[in-house]
Structure 1
Amino acid sequence: MSVVKIHVLHLDDEQRADVEERFAACRAAEHMTDVPGFRSVELLRPTDGQPHYFLLSRWDDDAAYCDWLAHGTTYRTMTTASVDLLEFDAVEPRHKQDLIIHILQLWSLSRADTNTMTTSITAGKCVIDVTDSGGPGAAIVLAHGFALDRSMFDGAIPASPDRRVITWDAPGHGDSPASDEPFSFWDLARDQLAVMDALGIDKAAVGGCSQGGFIALRTALLAPERVTALILIDTEAAALDTAETAAYQNMFAALAEAGPTPELTTALSGQIIGDHPAADTWARTWQTRGIPLGHPVDCLLNRDDITDQLPQIRVPALVVRGEHDHSIPPERQQQLRDALPGPSEVLVINGAGHSPTVTHPYAVRTAVDHFLTATTFHLQ
């Protein structure tokens, strides 16, 4: 293992030209090969999706990097993030930039001076674990997908001075204890409204990924006066068809019988996360803490079809789909597009699977920022 230092460079045109020239010269002369503890350096250039350069340098350990930094020169415009014990060579090049952006966003959030609070809220007969960024900004309330938790939004939809972000773990997921009684997505929508009540939030944009979207749609139907916009990521209004139900029943029966084995969790993470290093991370997480079975599965498999109720929803909606989502057919998101106000098209995140907030946080963040700016929703 080694230490990777990631710098994000905020440069003007003149500085960019200088960086390109110096980096090419360093590569040509194999510069720094005699620096103790140095292994390699890589420059990732701006793309249409992000405006910054990323400079990656790899070291034997932190001490070697700090010694070089103390005696060398670097751009004062750099912001540096350390990625400890990350075997970076194992990351496929096509995933590297998304992973870097995600790491930087998490790093910056961890150092932000915010009023972020984690608390437990009693909603009906359930105890819900909630993270609230606080602040006076307009509220966004987000619910996660099945088997994941509220961390799936870290980096993808961060708080800001004009935005208060609330995320919560459904019963049996993350830090929220399992429910002793069965529940439906309508019940979880009521729980979401109870969370808003407890936090003193009258109105909010609500959204989520997969089952989080099921909850958001039902929240908008239950309390239309409290929902200012919808953020719907890889979700649907339809119920499962017979073939889908049978496939899921077989998968969950295998998990109930054998437990969260590497084989079963790897298959599930491939479906939920997709072809991305985060899939391995979630598979290992489930092997340790298990998969939420019982009532959460019954809620997922027995949900009702609310497609015919969509015209009742009159708030703007953003509909997002991962290009390689194998959990929900694309025509289901097209139904949302056709029935809800606002979306002229389904926004496709290239390269993403069923959980783009995990694998492509920058792309999701950009789409949500543009949508909310255009929507100009306000906390009343």
Structure 2
Amino acid sequence: MPFASVNGQQLYFEDTGGDGPVVVFSHGNLMNHRMWAPQVAALRGEFRCVVWDERLHGRTRDDGALHTYWDSADDLLGLLDHLGIERAALAGHSQGGFLSLRAALRAPERVGALALIDSAAVAWPPEALAQMRGISEGFRGDGPDAVAPLLLDMLLGRPGIHADWLHAWHEQPRERLSDAVAVLMGVDDVSTRLGEITQPALIVHGEADQPVPLPLGQMLRERLPGATDLTVVPGAGHTPSLTHPDQVNGPLTAFLRHHA
């Protein structure tokens, strides 16, 4: 299996290779690199697609410690170093967008463009934190089955694929799942720094997203100087790249052809 030794972690990644522009895909909380399969299938060949598992997720072998999304941004930049990539377009879903924004702030010269899917730049309000605390404690105490009915519907809203992701959770230790949510709870507010991020940016958002409501995507569209468009996916929840890939892949491909 391909692993990159970065910042004391062993990051799992997959790389389609090729000579096309590089796009690095960063997944959302409690997901893994496999969530990007529809996008990689659509883009590979024309683009060099890199997917990876972030700390506390998937096949990555990490130290198990809590961390910040600035740490995750450094992981992404270290992965670029490992692959010998000077500059890439970054596509991030939810927390993958959190770390992509921070990578653009940390090393703007390394980031050519941003595609942010159901992501945000703010910290969580108290009611969201309370809900996440319950989810984290549920994972730790009773395991995935205790939180799956609510959480899968909230994250995906497409029952046909719920079983696959519940299976993926069962493959992870309860404590790891709980800690992944705890990291999510600690996200800091970078909304006042969005004006520093001048790369071209595509914002995609599910119309019915509950965890990251549409106004937070609209904020990114309004405050990122390079934002070219806001694509709202009708009827989609939090993960339209997985549940509504045909409606995401078109705008994403067009954006990358122009800006990657």
Report what 1:147 is aligned to.
30
The sequence identity of aligned pairs, in percent, is 33
SS at match of 1:318: strand
Pair 1:318 & 2:194 matched = no
Q: Distance in 1 between matches of 2:66 and 2:137?
A: 18
Q: Who is 2:225 aligned against?
A: 341
The answer for the alignment partner of 1:206 in structure 2 is 90
Structure 2 equivalent of residue 241 of structure 1: 125
Query: Given that residues 265 and 286 in structure 1 are in contact (C-alpha distance below 8 angstroms), is that contact kept between their aligned partners in structure 2?
Result: no
- Judging by fraction of residues, say which structure has more helix: 2
Q: Which one has a bigger Cα radius of gyration?
A: 1
Give ranges in structure 2 of 5+ residues lacking alignment.
Answer: none
Q: CA deviation at 1:200?
A: 0.5
Instruction: Find the counterpart in structure 2 of residue 160 from structure 1.
Output: 44
Deviation at 1:212, TM superposition (A): 0.4
Is the Cα–Cα contact under 8 Å of residues 352 and 360 in structure 1 kept in the other structure? yes
| Whole-Å separation in 2 of the counterparts to 1:129 and 1:224 | 24
- Structure 2 contact 121–189 (Cα < 8 Å) conserved: yes
Among 129, 134, 140, the residue aligned to 2:17: 134
TM-score (norm 1): 0.65
Q: Which residue is 1:124 aligned to?
A: 7
- Aligned residue among 187, 210, 222 for 2:106: 222
The answer to whether 1:194 aligns with 2:78 is: yes
Q: Which structure 1 residue ranges, 5 or more long, are not aligned? A: 1-117
Match of 2:168 among 274, 282, 285: 285
For residue 293 of structure 1, give the secondary structure of its aligned residue in structure 2. helix
Q: Establish whether residue 371 from structure 1 lines up as the match of residue 255 from structure 2.
A: yes
Note closer, same or farther for the CA distance 1:136–1:127 as it changes in structure 2 (3 Å cut): same
| Secondary structure of the structure 1 residue equivalent to 2:39 | coil
Distance 1:207 1:303 in 2: 18
Letter matched to residue 152 of structure 2 = S
Q: Which has the higher contact order (CA 8 A, sep 6+)?
A: 2
1:326 shift after superposition: 0.9
The amino acid that maps onto 2:5 is: T
CA distance in 2 between counterparts of 1:341 and 1:276 reads: 37
SS in 2 for 1:267: helix
CA distance in 1, matches of 2:153, 2:26: 21
- Map 1:67-86 → 2, pairs under 5 A: none
RMSD value, Cα? 1.7
Deviations 1:333-360 (A, max 9, x none): 1110011134354211123211112111
Equivalent in the alignment of 1:350: 234
> What is the TM-score of this pair, normalised by structure 2?
0.93
Change (3 A) 1:268 1:302: same
SS at match of 1:128: strand
- Shift of the 217–254 alpha-carbon distance from structure 1 to 2, 3 Å rule, reads same
Partner of 1:155, secondary structure, is helix
